[in-house]
Chains A and B, each alone.
Chain A
């Protein structure tokens, strides 16, 4: 979860020295890049799945033990482990699971089977949670991008002056606070003091959270609190760098109006590194979502993951972990692609 604070350095080089222009991009130039990045992504996903599978396998205990508790006689445990295939070697189990996954099947809930159910598919358990988390994340992202751009550029443009001081200092404070602290803060302000918004975000099964927008406000505020601050600070740095560049100086010396300089030269060039910053922020967001969901009792993917880990529902853990990994990797690919589209020069580099 510390990724947001560390990665911006590696994300920056895309920007410096990029030209202010950049006409329409020929699709032919993008395709090889896209193919290369996608296949790289798939390999990463595969590697991630191996790691997650290994991690789940070395966890002490088994679904059968979780269901039967301490009353379980070893013989009964062994029988259920055998039924679930837990007595087979890990590589064999992994390949089975992978081939099912390749066919789009996330498998059966280990706990469900250990409880004696005939069928307990994972996807119906996970799908509504995924939708809920996606809604929360989408709203946050839709607000995160314009807000942090606005604040970051504003701070960057007025670097060192009071406006920057206010934005940067506030952002620094929020960056330092973990989600559960920000979550508690917004609950205190908007529920305890103002009594405007509900302190929990329970959703009835089968209902969309969008039916009660008020329950989304505080979780979104919490996620924005931690992500906007960090993101805006990075955008600010990018903006300052562009402002100091030779071509901005040239533009200014050429007598181009400051407003035009900002819009045409600074913003566009600051945007390219920002895309990477946003990608990182969004990835970070999915981690933050887990904590935020717990704080508000929001039935999303994160809270499902936490309870699946504690109840030893290994297949559910695997499914959610793979879904999260896939989201991570796709965000990366999309961000790379966007940068390429914004900065033509990069297309010709290896």
Chain B
């Protein structure tokens, strides 16, 4: 029996290796370039698909990605969030809180290597023929940390919990008839929808809308989850100590006996903690540190798969960017690879102005936008905007934000466009009461694990985060059609249509699909490997896989 298990595990592992290789191949020659010299692989903005600047790590990555041994105490650090840190899955917003929630709770859908999906607590999403209703088959044999069995009541409560306006993931259930959820049996829930959605699970790839909570849970000071670890002690802004859940359904995971999640705000102090052996995993390595240690340094650098998009966005309904020719010109002004090299130390692949890199139905086939100053100039001239002057609002939200705004301003000057970079405070930049959604020309970053999620939140007439102020009734209709298309081929065609519109006319200059950089010690196993693109700051948030060798 145990032999069988070993064999299947081994088979599982080789499959992953194979996937990894295939993934590198699909990214073209870039992968080989990395093996040779890391950053030299910037082949320029080529035609079609993505050009990888850096793919996953070279030296040591195989080891880091292999299966851990049972036991030990794994210590992982990321930038903290002070007294705001929490285990409340409704409010998870910072990288450290994603670590917290991912260790105590389970998600409905797990991200898998190569932008794939694996069942979490929901085994099957079975749609009705017209996709207006779903039957969710729940994972059997799952128990909560307090010993109660997990079942349909918990799932129903979770969906309603997500729907609360204060829950950061509430958009995911906007089309679910929360008042008509029905328990069919202990492990089956009927979920009626307001309109057809062919891929409901996609909405729950949004981490905020993915954690399953216990029926009736409101206070998460002592969180009860079904996840790989149980919380032992928590001091916000400092440290959380967790112990392995030995009744975990995904046995033999988790491998370590204990997990320590440590908040270290200063990035240098965080790396020093790794070098000093005080932690095993340092998430959020600075680009400079990552670059210096990429080819085998004092620790292994794990580079995530390209995912989250850095974008400079334009308001489409008024002001200078109302004219689509001006928007197109702006997309042709930017030298994407230079921007990635200069502001992200090369950690990203060139973006093509559409979101959701790696997500299902993402269109890799659109021609790559690249710098064409002459064409930009003529477009501007025909739009009567040859001497365009605009203000680009930026804020030090993430590394590279302010820097890329500055680089953009320099590049725009070549086309005769004057861009004045105006730096704001982070706290007001994303505050809807102050600046957010009121800007004509600004920046953002989007983790878009599904197209449904991104398009419904950002590009529909009634979208809550419609930064580009993209209002088009026909686009809305096309979106609902694509979302409801149950035929795979039809769905792909419709999604491609939507993406082509955005690529050509939309208000996003999504210049980069960014890659996260983490540092791990030689003792770490089960970390990194083929990336998920499931970002939120760090590509690998699969806490259940991590361990020591």
- A200 and B237 contacting across the interface, CB-CB below 8 Å: no
Question: Quick check: B91 and A67 within 8 Å, CB to CB?
Answer: yes
Q: Which of B8-16, B176-184, B422-430 contacts A (4 or more CB under 8 A)?
A: B422-430
Bound form: Cα–Cα A199–B282 in Å: 14
B238 contacts across to A, CB distance below 8 A: 203, 205, 299
Q: Is B26 interfacial (CB 8 A cutoff)? A: no
A64 to B380 CA separation, bound complex (whole angstroms): 42
- Residues in B with CB closer than 8 Å to A116 are 88, 166
Q: Is the CB of A73 within 8 A of B239?
A: no
CA distance A269 to B81 in the complex (A): 50
Using Cβ atoms and an 8 Å threshold, which residues of chain A touch B276? 191, 198-200
- Write out the residue numbers on chain A whose beta carbons fall within 8 Å of the beta carbon of B464: 71, 73
Query: In the bound complex, do residue A296 and residue B269 qualify as a contact, i.e. CB atoms below 8 Å apart?
Result: yes
Expressed in whole angstroms, the Cα–Cα distance for A84 and B217 within the complex equals 23
B86 touches A115 (CB 8 A): yes
**Contact between B269 and A61, CB atoms less than 8 A apart:** no
Q: Is B168's CB under 8 angstroms from A71's CB?
A: yes
B275 touches A205 (CB 8 A): no
CA A199 – CA B88 in complex, angstroms?
33
Chain B positions within 8 Å of A67 at CB level: 84, 91, 93
A-binding segment of B223-231, B260-268, B529-537? B260-268
Other A-B pairs beyond A310-B82, A310-B427, A316-B83, 19, CB < 8 Å: A60-B431, A61-B425, A68-B166, A70-B436, A70-B437, A71-B168, A76-B166, A111-B83, A117-B219, A198-B278, A199-B275, A200-B272, A200-B276, A205-B233, A297-B273, A306-B265, A307-B237, A308-B83, A311-B83
Q: Which of A69, A198, A316 has the most CB of B within 10 A?
A: A69
When the two chains form the complex, which single residue of B82, B170, B425 contacts A308, counting CB atoms closer than 8 Å? Answer: B82
Whether the pair A69, B93 counts as a contact (CB closer than 8 A) is: yes
**A199–B278 alpha-carbon span in the complex (Å):** 9
Chain B residues positioned under 8 Å from A76 (CB to CB): 165-166
Asked if residues B269 and A294 are in contact (CB atoms below 8 Å), the reply is: yes
For residue A6, CB closer than 8 A to chain B, the reply is: no
Which of the four size classes fits the interface of chain A?
A: 35 or more
Which chain B residues lie closer than 8 Å to A111 at the CB level?
82-84
- CB-CB under 8 A from A296, the residues of chain B are 269
Chain A residue with the shortest CB-CB distance to B260? A204
The answer, yes or no, to whether A59 is at the interface (CB within 8 Å) is yes
Question: Does B44 reach chain A (CB closer than 8 Å)?
Answer: no
Indicate whether A313 reaches chain B with its CB closer than 8 angstroms: yes
Q: Mark B428-446, 1 if CB is under 8 A from A, else 0.
A: 1011111011000000000
B278 neighbours in A (Cβ, 8 Å): 198, 200, 202
| 0 or 1 for each of A279-323: is its CB under 8 Å from B? (1 = yes) | 000000000000000111101000110111011110010000000
* Size of B's binding interface in residues, CB under 8 A: 47
A187 closest partner in B (C-beta): B272
**Distance (whole angstroms) from the CB of B416 to the closest CB of chain A:** 33
Task: Check if A125 is an interface residue, CB within 8 A of chain B.
Answer: yes
CB–CB B266/A60 < 8 A: no
What residues of B have a CB within 8 angstroms of the CB of A205 in the complex? 233, 235, 238-239
Task: Give Cα A134 to B87, complex, Å.
Answer: 30
Q: Complex: how many Å from CA A275 to CA B166?
A: 55
Which residues does chain A contribute within 8 Å of B265, judged by CB atoms? 294, 297, 303, 306-307
Cβ contact of B88, chosen from A77, A115, A125, A303, cutoff 8 A: A115
Judge whether B80 is part of the interface by a CB distance below 8 angstroms.
yes
Scoring B83, B239, B270 by chain A CB atoms within 10 A of each residue's CB, the highest score goes to: B83
The smallest C-beta distance from B468 to any residue of chain A, in angstroms, reads 14
A307 touching B81 in the complex, CB below 8 Å, given contacts A60-B434, A67-B91, A115-B86: yes
How distant is A44 from chain B, measured CB to nearest CB, in Å?
A: 28
Most buried by B among A67, A77, A199: A199
Nearest chain A CB to B309's CB is how many angstroms away?
16
Name the interface residues of A95-154: CB closer than 8 Å to any CB of B.
109, 111-112, 115-118, 125, 128
- Chain B residues with Cβ under 8 A from A68's Cβ? 166, 168
Nearest-CB residue, chain A, relative to B430: A70
Q: Tell me whether B465 is interfacial, beta carbon within 8 Å.
A: yes
Checking B166, B236, B432 against A125 with a beta-carbon cut-off of 8 angstroms, the contacting residue is B236
| Docked-complex contact B165 and A311, CB < 8 angstroms | no
